[in-house]
């Protein structure tokens, strides 16, 4: 099941072709449950901020919750992606594409086997449509027997996964990398949740050499807030249940905001 609407109306083949071939725009992805979204307001802030960078001459996208609700129709649970695209004729306007598909089970998979790769996304702080680089590296890693990749910045700092943020446990606190990366919505919500349950966390520069200082690692995104990572390169993380347990507890503190 997939539904796609542009500006609240069923998407035409012409518009879908333009979106696919132009490759310019930004988006956010969310899991809807009971017609509510964890961190909905932050998703909306992300879309407005992305538009300010990519479409500075256009009005910020408006009426986004209503467009999402319209695309959902009678569905209560779904995976939703909201993409802001350039208008073909008017640079002071944008098009909003809402894609609705089956909800994703957030049950963690077996611990991931990850390798590091030197690659820094263009405009790394934005969730944009330019995903060729990280997708290429992820597929190459899978050909070599890994599950995914952890990207490192130009200076060697650990940054982010192909489509996820990474969290570590150093025995005392949750550690997030300090590097050019996407400030993921789930990561933001988890940090708030950790503070709610009294678990300290910090952000600091990490490199491949820092991995042996950590006892656990996990990937976080809208599909799963606490996906254990078993190894990164040749470093194993034997105590993942501690970190994933804390992240799961933190996630339970998150408020689901209703679509109105």
> pLDDT tens per residue, the chain (260 residues)?
799 999 999 998 988 888 888 889 999 999 999 999 999 999 999 999 999 999 999 999 999 999 999 999 999 999 999 999 999 999 999 999 999 999 999 999 999 999 999 999 999 999 999 999 999 999 999 999 999 999 999 999 999 999 999 999 999 999 999 999 999 999 999 999 999 999 999 999 999 999 999 999 999 999 999 999 999 999 999 878 999 999 999 999 999 999 97
In sequence order, what DSSP letters do the residues of 115-147 get, joined into one string? EEEE---TTTTS-BS--HHHHHHHHHHHHTT-S
Please enumerate in sequence order all residues whose Cβ is within 8 A of that of 229, keeping only pairs 6 or more positions apart, or say none. 111, 112, 114, 166, 217, 218, 219, 237, 240
pLDDT, position 18: 85
pLDDT, position 238: 85
User: pTM to 2 decimals?
Assistant: 0.95
pLDDT, position 19: 82
CA gap 201, 184 in Å, rounded: 16
pLDDT, position 256: 95
33 CB burial (10 A radius; 0-12, 13-18, 19+)? middle
CA angle 242/248/251 to nearest 5° reads 140
pLDDT, position 116: 98
Q: Are 260 and 72 in contact (CB under 8 A)?
A: no
From the centroid of its chain, how far is CA 255?
Answer: 18
pLDDT, position 93: 95
220 three-state secondary structure: strand
- Pull the structure tokens for residue 81: 């992606």
pLDDT, position 237: 96
pLDDT, position 14: 86
pLDDT, position 26: 97
Alpha carbons within 13 A on the beta-carbon side of 97: 23
CA gap 216, 70 in Å, rounded: 41
CA gap 149, 259 in Å, rounded: 34
pLDDT, position 227: 98
Ordered by where they begin, the domains of the chain are: 2-101 (3.30.470.10), 112-251 (3.20.10.10)
């Amino acid at each position: 099941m997939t539904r796609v609407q542009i500006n609240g109306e069923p998407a035409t083949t012409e518009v879908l072709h333009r979106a696919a071939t132009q490759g310019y725009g930004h988006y956010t992805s969310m899991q809807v449950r009971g017609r509510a979204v964890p961190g909905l307001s932050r998703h909306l802030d992300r879309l407005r901020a992305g538009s300010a960078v990519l479409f500075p001459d256009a009005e910020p996208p408006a009426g986004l919750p209503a467009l999402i609700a319209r695309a959902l129709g009678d569905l209560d649970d779904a995976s939703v992606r909201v993409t802001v695209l350039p208008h073909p004729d008017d640079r002071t306007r944008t098009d909003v594409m809402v894609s609705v598909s089956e909800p994703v089970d957030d049950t963690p998979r077996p611990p991931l086997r990850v390798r590091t790769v030197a690659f820094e996304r263009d405009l790394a702080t934005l969730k944009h449509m330019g995903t060729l680089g990280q997708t290429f590296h992820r597929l190459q890693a899978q050909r070599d027997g890994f599950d995914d990749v952890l990207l490192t910045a130009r200076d060697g700092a650990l940054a982010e996964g192909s489509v996820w943020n990474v969290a570590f446990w150093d025995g005392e606190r949750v550690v997030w990398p300090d590097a050019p990366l996407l400030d993921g919505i789930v990561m933001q919500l988890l940090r708030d949740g950790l503070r709610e349950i009294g678990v300290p966390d910090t952000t600091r520069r990490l490199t491949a050499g820092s991995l042996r200082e950590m006892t656990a690692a996990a990937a976080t995104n809208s599909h799963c807030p606490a996906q254990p990572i078993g190894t990164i390169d040749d470093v194993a993380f034997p105590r993942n249940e501690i970190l994933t347990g804390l992240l799961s507890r933190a996630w339970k503190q998150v408020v689901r905001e209703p679509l109105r």
